[in-house]
Amino acid sequence: MRPKIAVLPGDGIGPEVVHSALSKRPLDADVTFIDACADRYLSTGELVTTEEIAEIGRSDALLFGAIGDPRVKSGVLERGILLRLRAELDLYINLRPFPELDLVIVRENTEGSYAGVGTREGGIATETSVNTRAGIERCAEYAFELARKRGGHVTLVHKTNVLRHAGGLWEEIVDAMGERFPGVPVLYEHVDAAAYHLVRQHGRFDVILTDNMFGDILSDVAAAVGAGLGAIGSANLHPKRATRPTRCIGLFEPVHGSAPDIAGTGTADDSGMVAAIELMLDALHDESNIQGRHTDLKRHVPRTRDEVLRLEQR
């Protein structure tokens, strides 16, 4: 059967890179376009409708261009469209592979500081990082399974010395998960040290497992060290069919954003969108194994725990 693909081009350079990438990598699929974008919001007040979310849920996957427009207050489109889709489709894994660096970032995608929990009262603002055992466990399990397939190791990245409650829960769960995967070495780095080492010594990493905000930041650092932000694709996944709330396995997008300053100039790089399409095709090819042409999950240089520890001592 031909897969059913929903395509949401979005804002800025999103439509440009979507159509350019699809011309280079045509889909043998039934395609439905979703018109959620800034132009529609400004004219009708609609973000993404209930029927559009249902249509995406009836699809096998969603190809997503970019969202964000300077005419709309920051956060309105992002929360009302992208984050809503991640939440309603329960896309709990954000997978960002960097083949040129031989590493993968596995980011928890529905909780943490991006959960939308907080208050603003006068001169006091709070942003609550929500971390649940169930949310961390399913993300950690995916990361360990991925590291085992790669023949590599997992590095938990957090800030446990300061964020004692959230960090402590992450550390406890990851340590327990490590006992279920005895052949997968487990390491830990504070997020600031991890950012430094991504720049200076990225070879010490294999599968980086981290929370929502830290993963967002570290993936941009890795892109800067590697092929550049315009070349990186991303998969937002609910990889387990048994628990998936809809038919849709995930949302696939480039990580570069809408870049409104270059929209319409003909200079947008579509390689990140092409990479996102490859990630989507790999996921659809075999839902139980994200291994494929672009993700390149087999490590080029297998690392044992001792080898990684020796790198740390240099």
Catalytic sites, residue numbers: 114, 159, 192, 216, 220
* CA-to-CA separations, 231 to 134, 275, 303, in angstroms, rounded: 33, 7, 26
- Tokens standing for 185? 């070495």
264: three-class secondary structure by DSSP: coil
| β-strands 103-108, 207-210 pairing | parallel
- Counting other chains too, the contacts that 51-54 makes at CB distance below 8 Å and 24 or more residues apart are 53/84, 53/85, 53/88, 53/89
Instruction: Quickly list H helices, the chain.
Output: 14-24, 38-44, 50-57, 76-77, 84-88, 133-150, 164-180, 191-200, 212-225, 271-285, 305-313
Q: How many CA atoms lie within 13 A of 274 on its CB side?
A: 12
What is the residue type of 273? M
- For residues 109-142, b (16+ Cβ closer than 10 Å) or e, as one string? bbbbbbbeeeeeeeeeeeeebebeeebbebbbbb
Inter-residue contact 115 to 128 (CB < 8 Å): yes
Q: What kind and span of H or E run contains 235?
A: strand 233-237
How wide is the angle at C-alpha 108 spanned by C-alphas 130 and 229, nearest 5°?
125
Length of the chain in residues, anyone?
A: 314
